Structure 1
């Protein structure tokens, strides 16, 4: 039984994810589209379990697992194989360690693969082509565990001597309580852990902390359902007018749009309340759509809506690797979006209407139209195409590097940095290089991965310089490094702080702590952070604006405005992400010129005194 208007919910979730990936600065909270899918999936699976118990008196767990596998795995495998062909268009940085990514995707463990490897949904140097399958992994984990628990409950209920109607009522009640229990546990896991984390990807990817939307959906299923619905729901259908139902449906949709416009992946609010609000809004949409189905018996769902709902899963699988490749290859985001959409629609439709029916031995069908083709003769060409796709995938994976060129450069810089630390220890008591405050002359640079990428160039071009940089470093970590160097008398006269791309909303507090903790005798230079995806709502951009105000308050502070310079020279990021330019000679030149200019400006300024 297909419920009309449920297609609208699937399409809303898909559009939100697409807008997020295509236009992240304009639709920064579109990632909650995944939570729309999670909530709807929890509802649908649980409602179907209830219907199955009512119809058959038991739940076929193995049958459920088989149906899910057949629905999920063929499109996933096709997406992986096709995507690997398109990687031939781009450099090897995009397929670095691709074999492990493929294994994680096909093994439904991408979420924990990303956690284990320190991955971030937004901040990888080169986006993993299959990072989006993290949500598929979470969904499969839900199916495995929830399916087992519900089937055990169904088995215990079916063996009882109760009346059939009472059995179903008891089953609904138990599912409802179990859903609420898991909802509270998993939501609190995300809520409480959000206070102790500076990087939120571990709780975003986790199957434990990010599974509460499923249980919101499963709880809703006990209140409504698909075929079998309780009396309270039937009475609600009679009480609501169609106009009221439409107002509720579109109001909850509006809430999702607002969340998509204003939520941000790096804001704590998103993890405390954002995902919960998105899931609750989706639950309201589901409830309203289920009522609307009953209220519109003579109205058919538009076929275009049904079509995009049918292929929504396939489009989700295909769009991310294709867009990652096209947006790198084509210096035109609009064209990359169009190509991605066209190919994703075609490939997803082929998968849903042709490949998936063939896998289960059915005749391909488009809507209600049987495609009467003689598929016996399609076996050989399909086998040839499959062999070519598999061969390309194996070839690309076998020749893929273990690390991207940027990661290799950063790794080398880390080793050289360790050598510099030993050299500094040997020079610790070199009074010839000391200022009147008894500190080493020269420049100490404390930075993140951007700085690490140009570390050697800084050492070559800036006299008496020392660089301590690390990927993902935040302001509070930079302060800890500075404090450690001060304690060991290694911090030099000029202190350059080049962190902030990974900042959070407490940036003002972190900056003030760093300024206060800096000992007298130093001159401080802040490098404003740059992220090409950021708009004025991003914390990194707010930090850059805040840092520009500091010289007016502190006469020993100078600003090296990389945020402004980089924005005027986006060509240095071609072939990389929009944050790192390591290996680009023009980028290194601009960065060094900026630092040298800032140091020259700082020379005319006083050092920090005991009164500051």
Structure 2
């Protein structure tokens, strides 16, 4: 039984996901489209489980697993081998650990693989080509666990209740209350674990914390059903007229689209209510669509909507890796257009022809039947070539991206430099000192090291070797994911140890938090007299004006007027004029691109020249 108007639910979910991936900066909350799919899956699977129990008096677990395997695995396998030839068009950084990515995708463990490797759609480095299969991993984990739970519930009910009708009623209620309790437990876990986090990937990707949309969908499946319908739902069908069903469906879908404009991946409220609200709205849309099916016995869904819904799963699988690849080869709008065309073409081929043949059925291409016998030779030839290409690309894949390698090397150099610097400071402290003056003729406090102390984040770490060689008398302390409060701690520690140099350069801000003003002023006030301060504005090519990093840059530019010992190194302005140094990167880091190293050092040196003309902090 195909329920009409459910296609709209799938289309809304797909539209939100594609909009988020294609226009992440403009449509920041489109990731909630995945929660629509989760809720719908929970509804559909649970309703079918109840139907099976009502018809046969049992729920057959291994038949359920077999059906899920045949629906999920063939499209996933095809998407992997059909995408891999496209990876030969981009640089090898995009193949980093591709073998492990493929293994995680096909093993339905991508969600935990991404948690362990720090992956995300908003990854600061090279995005994983198969990061989007995290949702399939959670879905398959839900099927495995929920299928077993329902199977055990069914056995228990049939053991104690002989009447088929009474057994069905008890089974429905037991499944309903189990779904409700599990959804509450999962959401409560997300709510509590999200507290205090700055990276929410671990709660977003976890099947434990992000499993509740499936169970909310299961609740709706128990209430609305498909073939097995509760008396209460039959009364609802009678009480709701057509306009009410349409209104609820339209309003809930519009609210979901609007919510996508508001939610952000890195905001706490997303995990403490935003995703739950989107799940409830998805449940309402599904409920209304189920009623609309009963109210429109003589109407059909638009064929275009039905087609998009049919191929939506495959489109989801194809679009992300294709978009990542195409967006490195052309402007974004062109990449989006090409991704949509190629994704739908490959998805149509997969859904209508290849998948049916792979599970022993007859495929269809428009009005023509396609059998295994007809396509056996070209299918096997193409399969061998595609698997060979995948194996070749996997063999070429590096273990680290160029940027990650630079960061790793930078860490090693930093450790060596820090030991040498501490040794030099200890030796210098044993020698008598004389009064020194700076370039402006001002006295330098006794014992204060000359030169520049640079405290930075991963951007600085990526160019550390070049920067250290081209900024005279400099010491560099840089670390990935460093925020302003952590830079404050480094500065205080160096200051207390007597190794903080006269001019302090703070290259922090891409990871700016909501309290960026307070954290910046902590540095300004904690800096001891006799120093100068240079603040380097952060740059992110993807940042909108309302991002914390953008607001921090604007705020930092206002400080020299109030504090004459502060100078601005305007990296944000300089970097924006040279987009070529970020080609093929995440728009923040330029590790491995020499022109980026040169530009970064020029901005620092130019600011230092200006700072040398300003007074010291009194």
Under a length normalisation based on structure 2, what TM-score does the superposition of the two structures give? 0.95
Does structure 2 retain, via aligned residues, the 8 Å contact 1:28–1:262?
A: yes
* 1:297 aligned counterpart, secondary structure: coil
* 1:293 aligned counterpart, secondary structure: helix
Does structure 1 retain, via aligned residues, the 8 Å contact 2:10–2:312?
A: yes
Whether 1:545 and 2:542 are equivalent positions in the alignment is no
Residue in 2 that maps onto 1:423: 420
Residue in 2 that maps onto 1:457: 466
* 2:425 aligned counterpart, secondary structure: coil
Whether 1:186 and 2:195 are equivalent positions in the alignment is no
Residue in 1 that maps onto 2:401: 404
Q: Distance in 1 between matches of 2:500 and 2:192?
A: 37
Does structure 2 retain, via aligned residues, the 8 Å contact 1:527–1:560?
A: yes
Cα deviation 1:484-529 (Å, max 9, x = unaligned):
3223222222222212222232322322333333333322222221
Whether 1:345 and 2:344 are equivalent positions in the alignment is yes
Residue in 2 that maps onto 1:57: 57
* 1:54 aligned counterpart, secondary structure: helix
Q: Distance in 1 between matches of 2:276 and 2:519?
A: 29
Does structure 2 retain, via aligned residues, the 8 Å contact 1:121–1:201?
A: no
* 1:10 aligned counterpart, secondary structure: helix
Whether 1:604 and 2:613 are equivalent positions in the alignment is yes
Residue in 2 that maps onto 1:376: 373
* 1:559 aligned counterpart, secondary structure: strand
* 2:299 aligned counterpart, secondary structure: coil
Per the TM alignment, residue 370 of structure 1 is displaced from its structure 2 partner at its CA by 6.0
Q: Distance in 2 between matches of 1:437 and 1:186?
A: 60
Does structure 2 retain, via aligned residues, the 8 Å contact 1:70–1:359?
A: no
Per the TM alignment, residue 162 of structure 1 is displaced from its structure 2 partner at its CA by 4.7
Written as runs of structure 1 = structure 2, the 5 A alignment for 1:16-165 is: 16-165=16-165
Written as runs of structure 1 = structure 2, the 5 A alignment for 1:557-576 is: 557-576=566-585
Written as runs of structure 1 = structure 2, the 5 A alignment for 1:97-496 is: 97-330=97-330, 332-365=331-364, 371-429=368-426, 430=428, 435-436=444-445, 438-496=447-505
Per the TM alignment, residue 89 of structure 1 is displaced from its structure 2 partner at its CA by 0.6
Runs of 4+ in 1 over 4 A off after TM superposition: 431-434
Report the count of equivalent residues. Answer: 606
Does structure 1 retain, via aligned residues, the 8 Å contact 2:357–2:371?
A: no
Residue in 2 that maps onto 1:500: 509
Structure 1 stretch displaced more, 549-558 or 270-279: 549-558
Does structure 2 retain, via aligned residues, the 8 Å contact 1:190–1:210?
A: yes
Q: Distance in 1 between matches of 2:86 and 2:234?
A: 51
Structure 1 stretch displaced more, 585-594 or 106-115: 585-594
Q: Distance in 2 between matches of 1:319 and 1:91?
A: 19
Whether 1:512 and 2:521 are equivalent positions in the alignment is yes
Structure 1 stretch displaced more, 26-35 or 555-564: 555-564
Structure 1 stretch displaced more, 92-101 or 566-575: 566-575
Q: Distance in 2 between matches of 1:344 and 1:288?
A: 30
Per the TM alignment, residue 203 of structure 1 is displaced from its structure 2 partner at its CA by 1.0
RMSD: 1.7
Under a length normalisation based on structure 1, what TM-score does the superposition of the two structures give? 0.96
Residue in 1 that maps onto 2:440: none
Q: Distance in 1 between matches of 2:529 and 2:146?
A: 60
Per the TM alignment, residue 557 of structure 1 is displaced from its structure 2 partner at its CA by 2.3
* 2:370 aligned counterpart, secondary structure: coil
Does structure 2 retain, via aligned residues, the 8 Å contact 1:532–1:579?
A: yes
Q: Distance in 1 between matches of 2:241 and 2:273?
A: 31
Q: Distance in 1 between matches of 2:77 and 2:224?
A: 35
Structure 1 stretch displaced more, 519-528 or 302-311: 519-528
Structure 1 stretch displaced more, 168-177 or 432-441: 432-441
Change (3 A) 1:310 1:263: same
Q: Distance in 2 between matches of 1:272 and 1:558?
A: 40
Cα deviation 1:428-484 (Å, max 9, x = unaligned):
142669830632121111111111111122111111111111222222222222233
Does structure 2 retain, via aligned residues, the 8 Å contact 1:51–1:228?
A: yes
Does structure 1 retain, via aligned residues, the 8 Å contact 2:120–2:131?
A: no
Q: Distance in 2 between matches of 1:73 and 1:593?
A: 52
Per the TM alignment, residue 374 of structure 1 is displaced from its structure 2 partner at its CA by 4.4
Q: Distance in 2 between matches of 1:541 and 1:147?
A: 48
Does structure 1 retain, via aligned residues, the 8 Å contact 2:503–2:532?
A: yes
